[in-house]
């Protein structure tokens, strides 16, 4: 039999005598559950803001912005990111230093 086994499994055109091993039963159940999950995605994403169907979506009305304002917004966001990174690294370094001093104290005494 020179047919692709995965194609046969996906289309359910499988002769049951070919698939007598437990591995094949496991593969069949996995394929069926994956198929059910894919069919269920439209129901999952129906109530999200983006939605699932593109025909029902409407793009938000964004205000017109000049290039100078975009540059200012970009610089402000970059500055906020730098401040956030400095806070994170300083907090991490304080925790690491405290842990190192505690470890040194426990080893020495």
- Phi and psi for 45 in degrees, rounded to 5? -95, 10
Same domain, 70 and 44: no
- Place 30 in a pLDDT band, splitting at 50, 70 and 90: confident
In terms of pLDDT, which residue wins out, 62 or 86?
Answer: 86
Q: Is the pLDDT of residue 55 over 90?
A: no
The pLDDT, as a whole number, for residue 29 is 81
Residue 58 lies in a domain: no
**Would you say residue 76 has pLDDT above 80?**
yes
Q: Which residue has the higher pLDDT, 33 or 48?
A: 33
11 domain residue, yes or no? yes
- Count CA atoms closer than 13 A to 40's CA, side-chain side: 6
Question: Is 71 in the same domain as 93?
Answer: yes
CA dihedral 19, 21, 24, 26 (to 10 degrees): 140
> Do 35 and 67 belong to one domain?
no
92 found inside a domain: yes
- Alpha carbons 35 and 10: distance in angstroms, whole number: 9
- Residue 101 inside a domain? The answer is yes
Q: What is the pTM of this model?
A: 0.41
Domain that holds residue 87: 63-109
| 97 in any annotated domain | yes
Residue 57 in domain: no
For residues 10 and 46, membership in a common domain is answered with: yes
Domain membership of residue 71 (yes or no) is yes
The most confident of the ranges 16-20, 47-51, 76-80 is 76-80
Q: Is 31 exposed, middle or buried (0-12, 13-18, 19+ CB in 10 A)?
A: middle
> What is the model's pLDDT at position 3?
53
* CB burial string 87-106: b at 16+ within 10 A, e below: eeeeeeeeeeeeeeeeeeee
User: Does residue 80 lie in a domain region?
Assistant: yes
Number of domains in the chain: 2
């Amino acid at each position: 039999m020179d047919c692709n086994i995965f194609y046969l499994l996906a289309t359910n055109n499988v002769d049951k005598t070919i698939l007598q091993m437990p591995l094949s039963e496991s593969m069949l159940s996995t394929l069926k559950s994956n198929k059910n999950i894919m069919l269920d995605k439209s129901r999952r994403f129906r109530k999200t803001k983006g939605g699932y169907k593109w025909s029902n979506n409407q793009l938000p009305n964004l205000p017109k912005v000049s290039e100078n304002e975009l540059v200012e917004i970009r610089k402000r966001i970059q500055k906020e990111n730098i401040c956030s990174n400095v806070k994170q690294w300083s907090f991490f370094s304080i925790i690491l230093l405290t842990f190192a001093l505690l470890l040194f104290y426990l080893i020495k005494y």
